[in-house]
Amino acid sequence: MIRRSPPLILLPALLTVAGVLLPLSYLILRAFGAESTELREIVFRARNAQLLGSTVLLTVGVLVATTAVALPLAFLAARTDIRPRRLLMLVGVLPLAIPGYVGAYALIAASGQGGTIDALTGIPWPAPSGFWGALGVLTLFTFPYLFLNLHAALRALDPALEDAAALLGRTRAQTFWQVTVPHLRPAWLSGALLIALHVLGDFAVVSLMRYPTFSAAIYQQYTAAYDRVYSAWLALGLLLVTGGVLWLEARLMRRVHLARVSPGGARPARPLALGRAAPVAWAFTALLAGAALVVPLGTIVYWLNASVDLQAWEGVLGALRGALGAAALAAVSTTALAFPLAYIGSRDPSRAARVTERAAFLGYATPPLAFALALVFFTLRVTPSLYQTFALLIIAYTLHFVAEAIGPIRTGLTRATPRLEDAARMLGMTPAQTLLRVTLPLLRPGLLVSAAFVFLSVLKELPLTLLLSPIGFETLARNVWTYTEEAQYASAAPYALALAVSGAALTLLILRRERPGSPRQERP
Q: Which one has a higher pLDDT value, 64 or 447?
A: 64
Q: What share of the chain is helix, strand, coil (3-state, %, to 5)?
A: 80, 0, 20
> CB-based contacts of 94: which residues, under 8 Å, 6+ apart?
144, 292, 293, 504, 507
pLDDT given at position 286: 93
pLDDT over 50 (residue 2): no
User: Average pLDDT for residues 269-278, to the nearest whole number?
Assistant: 79
Say which amino acid occupies 492.
A
Mapping DSSP onto H, E and C, the string for 27-43 reads: HHHHHCCCCHHHHHHHH
Q: Which one has a higher pLDDT value, 27 or 376?
A: 376
Q: What is the mean pLDDT of the chain?
A: 79
pLDDT given at position 255: 62
pLDDT over 80 (residue 476): yes
Residue 79 located in a structural domain: yes
- Residue 348's φ and ψ, nearest 5 degrees, are -100, 120
- The pTM (predicted TM-score) of the whole model is 0.80
pLDDT given at position 282: 92
Alpha helix stretches (DSSP H) within 34-178? 36-43, 46-79, 85-93, 100-110, 116-121, 130-156, 159-167, 172-175
pLDDT over 60 (residue 253): yes
Q: Which one has a higher pLDDT value, 434 or 453?
A: 453
Collapsed DSSP state (helix, strand, coil) of residue 272: strand
Q: Identify the CATH number of the domain in which residue 201 sits.
A: 1.10.3720.10
In 3D space, the residue among 330, 338, 328, 327 whose CA is nearest the CA of residue 12 turns out to be 338
pLDDT given at position 416: 60
Q: How many angstroms separate the CA atoms of 174 and 166, rounded?
A: 9
pLDDT over 90 (residue 100): no
Q: Which one has a higher pLDDT value, 428 or 199?
A: 199
User: Average pLDDT for residues 247-263, to the nearest whole number?
Assistant: 63
Say if residues 303 and 489 touch (Cβ distance below 8 Å).
Answer: yes
pLDDT given at position 57: 95
> CB-based contacts of 290: which residues, under 8 Å, 6+ apart?
none
pLDDT over 80 (residue 303): yes
pLDDT given at position 120: 78
Say if residues 478 and 465 touch (Cβ distance below 8 Å).
Answer: yes
pLDDT over 70 (residue 125): yes
Q: How many angstroms separate the CA atoms of 483 and 468, rounded?
A: 19
How many angstroms separate the first and last alpha carbons of the chain?
A: 28
Residue 41 domain boundaries: 11-27+36-258+278-513
Say if residues 330 and 394 touch (Cβ distance below 8 Å).
Answer: yes
User: Average pLDDT for residues 133-143, to the nearest whole number?
Assistant: 93
Say if residues 102 and 492 touch (Cβ distance below 8 Å).
Answer: no
Model confidence band, residue 99 (pLDDT cutoffs 50, 70, 90): confident
Region of poorest pLDDT, from 274-278, 357-361, 446-450: 357-361
Residue 269 located in a structural domain: no
pLDDT given at position 256: 59
* DSSP H or E segment with residue 420: helix 418-426
pLDDT given at position 308: 60
Model confidence band, residue 390 (pLDDT cutoffs 50, 70, 90): very high
> For residue 277, how many C-alpha atoms fall within 13 Å in the half-sphere facing its CB?
9
Peptide bond into 99 cis (omega under 30): no
User: Average pLDDT for residues 54-76, to the nearest whole number?
Assistant: 93
Say if residues 142 and 201 touch (Cβ distance below 8 Å).
Answer: no
Q: How many angstroms separate the CA atoms of 97 and 431, rounded?
A: 40
DSSP 277: G
pLDDT given at position 8: 64
432, with CB counted inside 10 A (0-12, 13-18, 19+), is exposed
* DSSP H or E segment with residue 458: helix 444-460
pLDDT given at position 143: 93
Residue 4 located in a structural domain: no
pLDDT over 70 (residue 419): no
User: Average pLDDT for residues 369-373, to the nearest whole number?
Assistant: 84
Residue 69 located in a structural domain: yes
Specify the number of domains making up the chain: 1
Q: Which one has a higher pLDDT value, 202 or 16?
A: 202
Sign (positive or negative) of CA dihedral 250, 254, 256, 262: positive
User: Average pLDDT for residues 223-228, to the nearest whole number?
Assistant: 66
Residue 19 located in a structural domain: yes
Q: What is the pLDDT of residues 477-500, one digit of tens each?
A: 888 888 888 878 888 888 888 888
**Cβ burial 94-127 (10 Å sphere, 16+ → b, else e):** bbbbbbbbbbbbbbbbbbbeebbbeeeeeeebee
User: Average pLDDT for residues 126-141, to the nearest whole number?
Assistant: 90
Q: How many angstroms separate the CA atoms of 498 and 102, rounded?
A: 11
Say which amino acid occupies 189.
L
Model confidence band, residue 133 (pLDDT cutoffs 50, 70, 90): very high
Residue 2 located in a structural domain: no
Residue 320 located in a structural domain: yes
Top mean-pLDDT range of 56-60, 308-312, 427-431, 514-518: 56-60
Residue 326 located in a structural domain: yes
pLDDT given at position 523: 41
Collapsed DSSP state (helix, strand, coil) of residue 419: helix
Model confidence band, residue 288 (pLDDT cutoffs 50, 70, 90): very high
pLDDT given at position 391: 92
